[in-house]
Chain A
Amino acid sequence: MSKCFSGNEAVAYAMKQINPDVMGAFPITPSTEIPEYFAEYVANGEVNTEYVTVESEHSSMSVCIAAQAAGARAVSATSSCGLALMYELLYVAASCRLPITLACANRALSGPININNDHSDSMGARDTGWIQIYAENNQEAYDNFIMAMPIGETLSVRLPVMTCMDGFITSHAVENIELLETDVVRKFIGEYHPEHYLLKKENPLAVGPYDISSYYMEHKVMQAEAMKSAKARIREVASDFEKISGRHYDLFEAYKMADAELALVLIGSSAGTAKAAVDMLRDNGIKAGLIKIRVFRPFPAEELALALSNTKAVAVMDKSEGFSSNGGPVFAETRSALYDLKKRPHLINIVYGLGGRDLKTEDVEKVFSRLADIAVTGEASPVYTHMGQRQRSTT
C-alpha cells in the first residue's frame, strides 16, 4: 500500500498499526504532529492505547519507564529540549533494561533557541544506553519504528530504542512511502511477554534499587554486553523485515563504496544530497562513495573500518557540534574505529548544517574536491573544520 505521508505521519501510522499499550504524549516542535495524529486515532477508536497527556517530557519518559516496568509496551515522541529534559530518565530506562520505543525528530538544542534540524539532541544522548537508529527519509522512519520493538525486546538485548529522523526535512516533508498491512506489522512485532513485571500477580517485582558499589559495576557491565549483542539482533531483525517488505537494511548503507577512493561518512537526510553529488562525481570519473550510518548505537566500528579500508581520504560529516575542540561525535567514533586498520585513509571532520543550515550538492562536491587534494598531497590539515557558515569580516 502506497501513501503520501510526512515523516511524522509515517511514524504515527506505525504506532497506530502497533497499537501500543501506553503512550506518553507531549508537544514539541517538530515532533508535535506524532501525538496529534495519535490523538485522532484515540478519538476515532482506531487504537485502544492508554494515551497519557503529561505535563512535560520528563513525565512522558517517566510514564514510559513505569508502564514498561509494569508489563506494557510504551512509546513516546520528542525533539530537542524535550529529549534534553528526559536526559536523566533516559539512563534510568536503559539501566532498568526497559525496551521503550522513542521517536526523535532531530532538532537543534537551545541556545539560542532554534527549531530546525541538526543532531545535537540525540547526539547529546548517545551515551545514555539507548540503541539509536537514524532514518534518511520517511520510508526509513516508518520502517525503523516497526523494527524497533523486535530489536529492543529481545532477551539478549532488552534495551530502549530511539528512532531518529531529521526534523522538518524528514518529519514534515511529504513523500510517497510503502506501508505494510497492519496484520503483517502486528505479526512481525508479536505480543510482548516480559518475564518479570510489576503487575504480575503471582510474583511481585521491585524495580530501581539503590545499587551500592558491590553491585553497580556488574549491572553496568551487563548493560554494556547487552549493547554489544544488539548489533547481531539489529541485523537479524533487518533480515526478517526484508522478507515482509522487500526493503534491505544494515548497520549502515554503503553507497558506491566497492571501489571508492574518496568517501563521506554521515547520518540522516543529508545522505540524499550526498548520493546526488556522488552520482555526479562518478559521471566525471571520480571514485566517490558514501557511508550513511543508520545505527549509531551500538556503533558499527569493525564493519565501518572494513568498509573504509580501501579508501584514500574520508570526510566525516557531523551535524552536531560536540565542543570537544577535537571534532564532532561521529568523527570521534569513526576515527577510533579506523585506528586498528593496517593502512588507514586520511581523515577529516566537517561540522555542517547546525540549526537548519542547508547542505547543497555543491557543498558536498567541495568536500570531495578537498578529499581529492588530500589523497594526492597527503596533507589533511586542518582536520576539523566547519562548513556553511558566513565568514567573519577581518576588517
Chain B
Amino acid sequence: MNTVYDLKREVEKPARLTGGHRLCAGCGAGIVVSGVLRALEPEDRAVVVNATSCLEVSTFMYPYTAYMDSYIHSAFENSAATCSGVEAAYNALKRRGKVEGTFKFITFAGDGGTYDIGFQSLSGAMERGHDMVYVCYDNEAYMNTGTQRSSSTPAFARTTTSAVGSAQHGKIQNKKDLTEILVAHNIPYVAQTAPIGNLKDLHTKAHKAIYTEGPCFVNILSPCPRGWGYPMAKLAEIMKLAVDTCVWPLYEVEEGVWRLSYMPKKKLPVEDFLRAQNRFSHMFEKGNEWMIEEAQKYVNQKWERLLDHTGA
C-alpha cells in the first residue's frame, strides 16, 4: 500500500462493486462497500460474504451480481459463520495445494444482522480467530423490512416498531455499544468509522482490517434516507454531523490499544444532528426539550469515556 492516501488514485482503481446495483440514492451502504473493497490490493482476490439485508437484495438479484469478486449470501443471522466457513475451506484447500493466490474474506451485514440476530454467530467467529474482516454497515434499524427498531437504534428515534405517541416517544432504550463489545473479544483490530470527507479514515481502517491477520471488526455508520428521513443529497452532511457532534466518534483499538482517530475542532451540539432527520422530529416539539437534553447527556457520557480510553 502506498503510504500517502490519494483519493483520486483510489477512485481510479477498477471498481469491485460495480454500478447498476439497486441501492437507493442517498444510501450509505454502497459507499461503505465500495470504500472497503477499494482497500484491497489489486492483485488480491476476495470472497465477499453478505447477510440478508438491503445490500444483499440490491446487489445480487438473480441473475446479476454487482461484485467483481466471489460472493456468498446464505441467511440473515449467519454471515460471520459463513465467512468463517469460506476461510476454513481456504485454509484446507491451500494446505492441500488446491487453491491459487491470496484471498481475503470480508463480511458485510447491517445492524440488524450484526447487533441482533447475527450477534452469536459474530461472537463465535471472532472468538475462533478466523482470518476475516466483519464490516457492520450500521443504519440503526431494520431498513430492509421498512425501518423497525434494532438494538442499534438510538433513544427517541421513531421507527415502525418504536412509535411516537402520547404514551411513548420513539425508542425507549439507548443504542447498544457493539464496537466496545467487540473490543472485549480481544481481537487484533476493532475500528469505528464513517464514510466522511475524502474517505481516508474509512480506507485506512479497512486496509488495516483486511491486512491484519486474524479476526477484525469495523463498524461503519451508514445513513438511510428513508429510515432516517433526510433529503438524498444530504448524505455526506448527515455523516459529518454524526461525527462532529460525537454521536459517532471515529476511533480504533489495535492489539488492545485505543486511539482516537478524529477530534472535532468544535464539538457540535447533538441537536444539530437530530434536527437534520425526520426520525427525531418529535424531539423538537414544544415541551420535549428534555429529550434533546437527555440525548446530549448520553452522548457526553459516552464521549468522555472514550476520551478516557484513548487518553486523548
Contact = CB atoms under 8 A, between A and B. Distances in A.
A376 interface: no
A66 B121 contact: no
For chain B, the bracket of interface size reads: 35 or more
A211 B64 CA distance: 10
A58 B81 contact: yes
A200 B120 CA distance: 30
Given A52-B84, A208-B74, A70 B90 contact: yes
Interface in B239-283: none
Contacts of B197: none
A18 to B, nearest CB: 13
A207 B85 CA distance: 14
Given A50-B91, A71-B99, A199-B90, A56 B124 contact: yes
Contact of A48 (B47, B60, B95): B95
A58, A70, A211, most chain B CB atoms within 10 A: A70
Interface in B40-95: 45, 47, 49, 56-57, 60-63, 65, 67-75, 77-78, 81-86, 88-93, 95
B103 interface: yes
Contact of B89 (A22, A56, A212): A22
B123 A55 contact: yes
A78 interface: no
A48 B101 CA distance: 21
A209 B65 CA distance: 8
A201 interface: yes
Contacts of A24: 85
A88 to B, nearest CB: 6
A66 B85 contact: yes
For chain A, the bracket of interface size reads: 35 or more
B9 interface: no
B83 A66 contact: yes
A66 B63 contact: no
A254 interface: no
Contact of B70 (A49, A72, A204, A210): A204
A178 to B, nearest CB: 29
Contacts of B124: 54-56, 59
Contacts of B60: 206, 208-210
Given A199-B103, A206-B65, A215-B62, A64 B71 contact: no
A65 B128 CA distance: 18
A69 interface: yes
A92 interface: yes
Interface of B: 45, 47, 49, 56-57, 60-63, 65, 67-75, 77-78, 81-86, 88-93, 95-96, 98-101, 103, 120-121, 123-125, 127-128
Interface of A: 21-22, 24, 48-50, 52-56, 58-59, 62-72, 74, 88-89, 92, 96, 198-201, 204-212, 215
Given A66-B72, A96-B74, A210-B62, 16 more contacts: A21-B89, A22-B88, A24-B85, A52-B128, A55-B124, A59-B121, A66-B84, A66-B89, A70-B72, A71-B89, A199-B86, A204-B67, A207-B73, A208-B74, A210-B60, A212-B62
